Each structure stands twice: as C-alpha cells, then as structure tokens.
Amino acid sequence: KQEVTQIPAALSVPEGENLVLNCSFTDSAIYNLQWFRQDPGKGLTSLLLIQSSQREQTSGRLNASLDKSSGRSTLYIAASQPGDSATYLCAGPSGGRRALTFGSGTRLQVQP
C-alpha cells in the first residue's frame, strides 16, 4: 500500500527566495508522481507529472525531480512570488492502480 509523506507541513518565506518542497513515498514501483497546487476552497491544479522513466520535469519556475530508489520527489520553486502562496500536494498511484494516494500537503506562504 502506497504511503506518501510531505515535509514540511507549512513554510513561510520572503518573496524572491528559492525553495524546495519534499515528498516521500513507500512504493518504489511507482510509475509516475504528480504535483498539484490547491488554493483555499478550490480544486487541484496539476503542476507537473513525472513518469518513472524521467528524473526531472520543468515548467516555468517549477522543477520537479523523482528518485524511485530513494522513494523521494522534490518540487523546486525558483524566485518565489506572493502568488505562489497555496498548498502543494504530491500524489502517486498505489499498487499499480490509477487511484492516487496523496500526501498531506505543504502550506506555502510567500511574504511580499
């Protein structure tokens, strides 16, 4: 059974800082991992999907990596902005199924 853990639970940084969000998972047979953003009371916005055959995926100021051997993924946000304030969630499929197991999220606040 897949278990996903995210550290830290909350993070507050000044605008302009580069930051790293961490995600760890227990099932190394994971075939992809997805990072999402959630604004309060809203749905999830997909940020990046990394397939198991990839090691990194980039979109604008975001870069995500996946290391299956260590059971870890990181989301790197460059030059953070107040608009980046949100909860960031990582999720991976469980046991080869399409059902996603989510971490509890990292609540990010970027101070202007």
Partner 1 sequence: KAGVTQTPRYLIKTRGQQVTLSCSPISGHRSVSWYQQTPGQGLQFLFEYFSETQRNKGNFPGRFSGRQFSNSRSEMNVSTLELGDSALYLCASSSPGGGAEAFFGQGTRLTVV
Interacting residues toward partner 1 by CB under 8 A = 31-32, 34, 36, 41-46, 49, 51-52, 89, 91, 93-94, 96-105
CB of 77 to partner 1, least distance (A): 20
Residue 21: closest CA among 13, 29, 39, 111: 13
Task: Closer to partner 1 by CB, 54 or 111: give it.
Answer: 54
Residue 83 identity: G
Task: Closer to partner 1 by CB, 13 or 44: give it.
Answer: 44
Q: How many CB atoms lie within 10 A of CB 111?
A: 11
CB of 78 to partner 1, least distance (A): 22
Task: Closer to partner 1 by CB, 15 or 39: give it.
Answer: 39
Task: Closer to partner 1 by CB, 53 or 112: give it.
Answer: 53
